[in-house]
Amino acid sequence: MEIKRITNERLGETVFCARHSSGLEVRVLPKEGYTSAYAVFGVKYGSIDTSVKNDSGEFETIPEGTAHFLEHKLFESEDLNAFERFAKTGASANAYTSFEKTAYLFKGSENIGESLEILLDFVQNPYFTQQTVEKEQGIIGQEIRMYQDLPDWQVMFNLLKALYKSSPVRIDIAGTQESIAKIDADLLYRLYGSFYNPANMVLSVVGGIDPQEVFDIVERCVKPVKGEASERKFVKESAKPVKKYVEENLSVAQKQFLLGYKEDIAEPLLALEDELASQVMLEAIAGKSSPLFKKLLDEELIDMGFGTELFNGFGFSCVMMGGTSADPEKTADIIRKEIKHIQSSGIDPAAFERAKRKLYGRMVMGYNDIDDTANLLMNLHFNGYEPFAELEVCKALTLEKAQQRLAVLKDGSSALSVISPIA
């Protein structure tokens, strides 16, 4: 493998990058003085991938929740499962499925090379039987029911269902009871072959590890495969939400809400500049030092848990604002009016500079955490960016760019999701 070094002089950090002959991208950031290391092996296959190309080259619908289901099953083998193997090296292992990816990971302070070999081995060697699949359907079914009772989870997915008509982002990551019942061992093997292609994956390792050792292990353990990874389907949405308001009653002490603004995107992915400009814009207009936050807090409409987020990925982008509130509709009304005022008057330059410095500082500090850094390197690759790209883009952000992102916040593209106490 040809190894490329990418250095950020300001941070004093270097990422070693290489592409294996299989197509696997490998990124390693050694941390001097660190005794532990964190590795994440990611595949660009998440809950939004509810279709796969068949032999005729046409997209075919697959059951919702398959990426999450496959994640659960991949830890199994005919002999010891992956968790039992990691226990022998002293590493702590886990995995997660998000909207856009599935990630398998471990963290340890000894036997790092051996743990890395286990990680690469079990992810590349699926083992499914119909009996174990049926057992897992019951386990994941319980997980689905559990999440249906979590107010934070439900207020978000209710908002996504109100905003999006066709995009699979509106679907729970674990799927539904009905969808997972359609999964069998043959389907899992087929989907594994369609998505778990090394060219559709990335290995990111950060911490007390020698980069050359990582590359040597990859050369020894990663197997080339035939064919190409399945293409991801882009589902185009209109800017108009499905509903303007949705409410659900759950066992909560106080009402919770999320106000969402859906962005009309022409391309599958939002540019990194737009993403970071949106974060700065939101901090400037609704962060904890903003007049809007102070007004809502003074009127006892929110508490310190109020926050904002740009929620975006392949085929979707929306702004979310929310928290707990005694009167979500009044709160949303005040937010909407303040946004219109700022759209007319412009973002305060001083507030923009504070928000930009805060974001940049938070990103720099993030490199002290090996977990966050490894996941960041993975995400940057999946979105088509080199290491440290987010720092350079943030430094170059202008007030004008943040002003442009205000245009995303349109009343006609918004919806309000509320969770209320059971009467």
Q: Which residues pair with 204 in a beta bridge?
A: 27, 40
HEC string of 242-257 equals CCCEEEEEECCCCCEE
Cα dist from 108 to 114, 206, 239, 370, whole Å: 11, 11, 46, 11
Number of CB atoms found within 10 A of residue 88's CB:
12
CA 396 to chain centre: 24
The two three-digit tokens of residue 151, written as one number: 């107010």
CB 38 within 8 A of CB 207: yes
Catalytic residues: 71
DSSP string, 52-97: EE-TTS-EEE--TTHHHHHHHHTT--SSS-HHHHHHHHT-EEEEEE
SS3 408: helix
The secondary structure element, H or E, covering residue 400 is helix 399-405
Separation between Cα atoms, residue 367 and residue 383, nearest integer Å: 19
Q: Measured between alpha carbons, how far is residue 417 from residues 103, 306, 322 in Å?
A: 30, 14, 9
CB atoms inside a 10 Å sphere around CB 83: 14
The answer to whether 20 and 1 have CB atoms below 8 angstroms apart is yes
Q: How far apart are CA 120 and CA 201, in angstroms?
A: 11
**Tokens at 269, concatenated:** 């992915």
3-state SS, residue 301: coil
Contact present, 257 and 328 (Cβ < 8 Å) = yes
Task: Give the Cα separation of 400 and 416 in Å (integer).
Answer: 28
Q: How far is it, in rounded angstroms, from Cα 96 to Cα 381?
A: 18
Question: Got the DSSP string for 199-247?
Answer: GGEEEEEEES--HHHHHHHHHHHPPP-SS-PPPPPP----SS-S-SEEE
Rounded Cα gap, residues 185 and 127, in angstroms: 9
